[in-house]
Amino acid sequence: MHHNSKLPHVGTTIFTVMSTLAQQHNALNLSQGFPNFKSDQKLIDLVTNAMNSGYNQYAPMAGNLELRVAITNKFEKLYNISYHPDSEITVTSGATQAIFTIISAFIKPEDEVLIFRPAYDCYEPAIALNGGKTISVQLEAPHYQVDWTAVAKKVNSKTKMMIINTPQNPSGTIFSEEDMLKLQDLLKGTDIILLSDEVYEHIIFDDKNHQSVCMFPDLKSRSFVVASFGKTFHNTGWKLGYCCAPKELMAEFQKVHQFNVFCVNHPMQKALADYLQDPNHYLQLSTFYQRKRDLFLSLIKDSRFKFTPAEGAYFQILDYSNITMENDVDFAKRLTIDHKIAAIPLSVFNTDNLDNKVLRFCFAKTDDTLKQAADILNSI
């Protein structure tokens, strides 16, 4: 049987490639972004409670109402912003499904979608599957700052959507308030939809504040905010997240969502609704991960790897140009096979696979794993 692939240039995601290689070679896996420690037992018990209390059938299409109310309360508390639980919030199967569904709901053939590279890898295939065209703005290592004048030159009448991600995966950088104000100015008077991937909103370091699009009125009115419980509560395998948007945008989203998944795991939604009642469950996350970042960096400070400390998310970029000039994919594979430590090469997220000789290491790991990782990195 013959068929033409809808994604002829797409292979297996780098996260699967590197995690599989790490497993095959029994290497420490600091590649794919997930914690190697347990989620809070209290949260796990709440799932069991929810199952025992009968939350075992379909949830409402938009999500369990108690959870949507808890999300509304979280936005009010954190940002003094209101999203209505009835019409402006949908609970999704992770941020990935929210992103795919947003893109499917709005992108038509020939529409342009502007993204910043290095970019998380699920954006471009979703745009392509809907016939859209990805327009990339390449950010430069090591600071990955945005030149908003250059961005403005890429915006035209075909631009339907822009995707931003702060704190950013894979670079570990963040957008400042000034970035957000420049973005707001740039989009003023256009019909461009903004998809704001904020899955690392609670992981931000050195007393900086997360700049959510919802805090900027002219951005909020055109935006989807996308969030992931997996990142916040150390359970990436549960695949639960949500998105928020003004009701006209959310109505279009739900037209697709209802036929894409209809609804997502009900007992876990009920458990998350209960768990969110205590804001400390997410407010302590920055301190928790900053300590891990600092431990990891202090342990490798005398190694041959160079770094600028991550500003947010749980990824640290390490520059290996003092060690070798081999390409980053080859070096990442060699590190895994010969040195038993796996990381993610950044070139796969860049325009034309630009190779800056940097790798991404996930520090959402136990202190013991971080120490073992540092021992290896110090020996290279």
Regarding 93 and contact with ligand GLN (CB under 6 A), the answer is no
For 139: left if phi > 0, alpha if psi spans -120 to 50, otherwise beta; the answer is beta
Among 29, 32, 171, 265, binds ligand GLN (CB under 6 A): 32
- Least Cβ distance, residue 294 to ligand PMP (angstroms): 21
Q: Kindly report each contact of residues 12-19 with a partner whose C-beta sits within 8 Å and lies 24 or more positions away, as own/partner.
A: 13/121, 14/121, 14/344, 14/345, 14/348, 15/121, 15/344, 18/332, 18/336, 18/342, 18/343, 18/344, 19/342
33 touches ligand GLN (CB under 6 A): yes
Does position 167 interact with ligand PMP (CB under 6 A)? The reply is no
Does 166 help bind ligand GLN (rule: CB under 6 A)?
Answer: no
Least distance from C-beta 15 to ligand GLN, angstroms?
Answer: 3
Q: Is 211 in the site for ligand GLN (CB under 6 A)?
A: no
CB of 112 to ligand GLN, least distance (A): 25
Q: Is 242 in the site for ligand PMP (CB under 6 A)?
A: no
Return the number of the residue (13 or 73) whose C-beta is nearest ligand GLN: 13
Contact 200, 312 (CB under 8 A): yes
CB of 224 to ligand GLN, least distance (A): 18
Binds ligand PMP by CB under 6 A, chosen from 88, 112, 124, 197: 197
The answer to whether the beta carbons of residues 219 and 213 sit under 8 Å apart is yes
The minimum distance between CB 19 and ligand GLN, in angstroms, equals: 7
Tokens of 343: 């990381």
Report the interface residues with ligand GLN, using CB under 6 A. Answer: 13, 15, 32-33, 169
- Interface residues with ligand PMP (CB under 6 A) are 33, 94-96, 120, 165, 169, 197, 199, 228, 230-231, 236, 241
